[in-house]
Structure 1
Amino acid sequence: MNPLSVLRDSLYFFRRHLLSIAQLCLPLVVLEALCTQLLYQQLGKDASQAYGMLASLLFYPLYSAALILYLDTRSNGYTPLKRNLLAMALRLWPSFALMVMLSSLLIMAGAALFILPGIWVMINLVFAEYLLVLRGLPPLAAMRESFQMTTGNFWRILTCILGVMAPLWLIDGLSQMLIPEPSPLAQLALDSANGFLQLFSTVVMFRLYMLVSEAVVEPPAP
């Protein structure tokens, strides 16, 4: 389970299915960015980031669950209808949103102590979304199972996350340098593009999840 191989395979899949992923997720990503922008326009730029998290809580479970279901069906050789994926994601929204809220609280609690505990919690919860969507586990059970699955894989997961996020942080930093005071429309475009590109991390973590799951069920050699 080489992190570079995981990133390479995930990038190949993401590029090959870019149009389908965009059709499935991009409208919701844009709506999320628009709602967040309108919210902060009403509350002011100094408003708490918690309001932005509330906007994300409305949309993130929908497009993330839909993308996970898409990844699973395509990996099994099927071509799913997008409306069916969104309908299934909508049914999963209550439990998914609850798990996202609980995970965020745990990560923030860890980060409030020191940065490293927050990172440790985040890494150990990385498979919870897939366990909830694909295995139908309730939120707490999915979080607990994720902790068990990540045992022994911390550094591989961290390397993959950094391999995904470092370029995105660089792009975000460059965009802020090139456009220090964007118009509302430009800001919406930048936020939407950044949110869509972050979906690549879902593809990478799905690939890792499948590899770890296969390693768990694979019988020991005689």
Structure 2
Amino acid sequence: MNMFSALHDAWYFFSHHLAAIARLCLPLIVLEGLLLQQITNLVAADSATLWRLLAGLLFYPLYSAALILFLDARSHGLQPRVRDLLAASLRLWPSFALLAGINTLAIMLGAALLVLPGIWLMVKLAFAEYLLVLRGLNPIKALQESFELSDGYFWPMLGCILIVMLPLWLLNGWSHTNETLTENALARLLLDCASRFLQLFSSVVLFRLFMLRSAQPEAE
């Protein structure tokens, strides 16, 4: 598995389908951003994290499942309609939301114990969403299969995730400490939505890695 080749292929796809991905995902991302902003403004700080996680589970499964279905359709030369993708993602929402919740709690628990276990779990569970959406596995089976499928590919997967996500994590950290942004609701919303949209590129990268791994019956 060539990490840089996967990143190149993913960037080519993302850049050439940017408008289609924006039409599919951006409206839900904006709605998610608006809801998260209201939670931040209305909910007490000690409980805001929990409510933000719950709000994320409302929208994230919808646009993530729709994007995965779009990636799969385009990889087969199909031109799916936005409404069909969203309808399919809505049907997948219960199982995807459960998977995302388990995934998030596992990574948070690992990060709370030490940073490295959280990173390890993030990589090992990275294929679970694709297994649930594309292979129809239930959440627990998808998590188990992701552990097995990622064997032997930890470092390329970690490298791709860090190359894509580390700049966005740093940007988010900076935005939360910048007084100008924290006092400007519109700027904060725009930056949050832009960050979440750019994070979709990581889904494209992981889809490419998933396809490469699935094509090989055994880890090298």
**Alignment correspondent of 1:209:** 210
Trace 1:96-175 onto structure 2 (pairs within 5 A).
96-172=96-172
Trace 1:34-53 onto structure 2 (pairs within 5 A).
34-45=34-45, 47-53=47-53
**Alignment correspondent of 1:26:** 26
Deviations 1:98-154 (A, max 9, x none): 011111121122122211111111111000000000000000000000000000000
Report if the CA contact (8 A) 1:3-1:156 is conserved.
yes
Secondary structure of the equivalent of 1:65? helix
Deviations 1:131-179 (A, max 9, x none): 0000000000000000000000000000000110123234445656594
**Alignment correspondent of 2:66:** 66
Give the root-mean-square deviation of aligned CA atoms: 1.9
Distance of 1:118 and 1:106 partners within structure 2:
8
User: Which moved further from structure 2: 116-125 or 177-186?
Assistant: 177-186
Give the unaligned 5+ runs of structure 2. none
Secondary structure of the equivalent of 2:77? coil
Q: Which stretches of structure 1, 4 residues or longer, exceed 6 Å deviation after superposition?
A: none
Secondary structure of the equivalent of 1:80? coil
* Structure 1 residues 120 and 56, CA gap change in structure 2 (3 angstroms): same
**Alignment correspondent of 1:84:** 84
Secondary structure of the equivalent of 2:79? coil
* Residue identity opposite 1:118 in structure 2: G
Deviations 1:181-219 (A, max 9, x none): 34111111111111100000000000000000001279x
Secondary structure of the equivalent of 1:19? helix
Distance of 1:177 and 1:110 partners within structure 2:
28
User: Which moved further from structure 2: 131-140 or 165-174?
Assistant: 165-174
**Alignment correspondent of 1:190:** 191
**Alignment correspondent of 2:6:** 6
TM-score for the superposition, normalised by structure 2 = 0.94
Deviation at 1:180, TM superposition (A): 4.1
Report if the CA contact (8 A) 1:7-1:163 is conserved.
no
Distance of 1:99 and 1:173 partners within structure 2:
26
Secondary structure of the equivalent of 2:8? helix
Report if the CA contact (8 A) 2:39-2:48 is conserved.
no
Secondary structure of the equivalent of 2:216? helix
Between the aligned residues of both structures, percent identity stands at: 56
